[in-house]
Amino acid sequence: MAILHLVPRHRPEEPSTLARALAETPWTGPDADAGRVLELFEPNAGAPVVDLSLAERDVPEVVALLHQCREIHVHGLHPRIAMQVLPDVRASVLAGVTLVVHGPVAPILRELPRSQDRPTVWPGPVRTDALARATLGESLDPAPYEPVDEMQVLDPADPSLLPRACGAIPIFLDDGTTLAVVGLVADIPDGVRIQLRFAIESLNRPSFRVEVCDEATIPPAERLARRRALQAVVLPDQPADAWARAMLESVAQGLPILVLGPPRADAPPGVLFTGTRDDHDRCVACLRSWVSTWAHGRAIPIDAEARAAWLSRRTRAA
């Protein structure tokens, strides 16, 4: 599943022309025929349902879509309404999904129900077009929606975020060899990703193996659990004024981290930087320096206490 579209139906008796146009648009690329359009509407008082996506028969399908899609596009809807109408799933599922807001965004004209069990802001990446940015302002709501930037939300009780007590040790195979798996997060550019895959796999030796876990081929809801079993992770260049969520998650998981980009003074303890965004040679050279440690069955040392202190200053609990 590639993209889920949420489109408002402004009058219950009139289907949305935008929804029809999106549904009839041919999907292209590797995710062909993988799009889904959901029409939402606010019916008259006394109507038995709040919106089409919450019809009882549709809830299982929508929950499955949330675990599979990589982007949710909302058209003319306030993000807080989108959070309210979607079925309740764990914040860690939505954290791997990008919310794309298309304007103009209508104001919130009614009090939204609140629940302590549901997040009030989108826990993953948020993008807005020019019309959405122009209308998502003070005139909309006394407490306007604000996408999470530097102070991101992490769930400290999520088992997938807990570091392993033994550290990121390599895997001992039945034939007596050891295996280290290096993760490539989904945001690494495709050209660099392909070069890294071939270069990392060239580190294999008869008594030691290195494999690549490419998150671009893994559903978003499964990435955290897969990453926790890695021996190291490679991330793309980080935003100038923030840290990508994959960085915060990897720090929480206690993984050795390599970043394809220039170093930063406020970086997590022990994180290594290649210096430039596409220097895959320096990245592989660093991994090669770790091979002897992995070959002897040991994890790369991590200062867990210093990282936990760094993480607490930049995140808040869900």
| pLDDT tens, residue by residue, 184-221 | 998 898 888 889 998 998 898 888 899 999 998 888 77
Selection from 191, 290, 292, 176 nearest residue 233 by Cα = 290
Helix/strand/coil percentages in the chain, nearest 5: 30, 20, 50
Tell which of 148, 176, 208 closes a domain.
Answer: 148
Q: What is the DSSP string of 56-72?
A: TTTHHHHHHHHHH-SEE
Residue 224 structure tokens? 């955290």
What residue numbers bound the domain in which 135 lies?
3-148
Above 70 in pLDDT, residue 14? no
- More confidently predicted of 32 and 181: 181
Above 80 in pLDDT, residue 229? yes
For the stretch 252-296, pLDDT in tens is: 999 999 999 999 888 999 999 988 777 778 899 999 999 989 988
Under the banding of pLDDT at 50, 70 and 90, the label for residue 126 is confident
- 162 vs 113: CA distance, rounded Å: 32
Q: How far are the Cα atoms of 262, 271, 272 from residue 285, in angstroms, in the given order?
A: 16, 15, 12
Above 80 in pLDDT, residue 155? no
Task: Determine, yes or no, domain membership for 154.
Answer: no
Task: Determine, yes or no, domain membership for 153.
Answer: no
Tell which of 148, 171, 198 closes a domain.
Answer: 148
pTM surpassing 0.75? Answer: no
- 102 vs 7: CA distance, rounded Å: 10
Under the banding of pLDDT at 50, 70 and 90, the label for residue 109 is low
Under the banding of pLDDT at 50, 70 and 90, the label for residue 31 is very low
Above 50 in pLDDT, residue 305? yes
Task: Determine, yes or no, domain membership for 269.
Answer: yes
Cβ(261)–Cβ(237) under 8 Å?
Answer: yes
Total domains present in the chain: 2
Only one residue has tokens 């004024």, namely 241
Task: Determine, yes or no, domain membership for 20.
Answer: yes
Under the banding of pLDDT at 50, 70 and 90, the label for residue 149 is very low
For the stretch 38-92, pLDDT in tens is: 777 655 444 444 444 455 667 787 888 888 888 888 888 788 777 777 888 887 7
80-94, 138-152, 242-256: lowest mean pLDDT where? 138-152
5-19, 61-75, 301-315: lowest mean pLDDT where? 5-19
Q: What is the mean pLDDT of the chain?
A: 78
pLDDT at 112: 57
10-19, 138-147, 267-276, 285-294: lowest mean pLDDT where? 138-147
Task: Determine, yes or no, domain membership for 57.
Answer: yes
Task: Determine, yes or no, domain membership for 72.
Answer: yes
Q: For residues 27 and 141, state if they share a domain.
A: yes
- Name the H helices within the chain: 17-24, 59-68, 79-85, 91-95, 130-135, 190-201, 220-228, 245-252, 280-295, 304-312
Average pLDDT over residues 222-250: 89
Selection from 222, 218, 212, 226 nearest residue 184 by Cα = 212
In sequence order, which residues have a C-beta less than 8 Å from that of residue 202 and are 6 or more positions away? 284
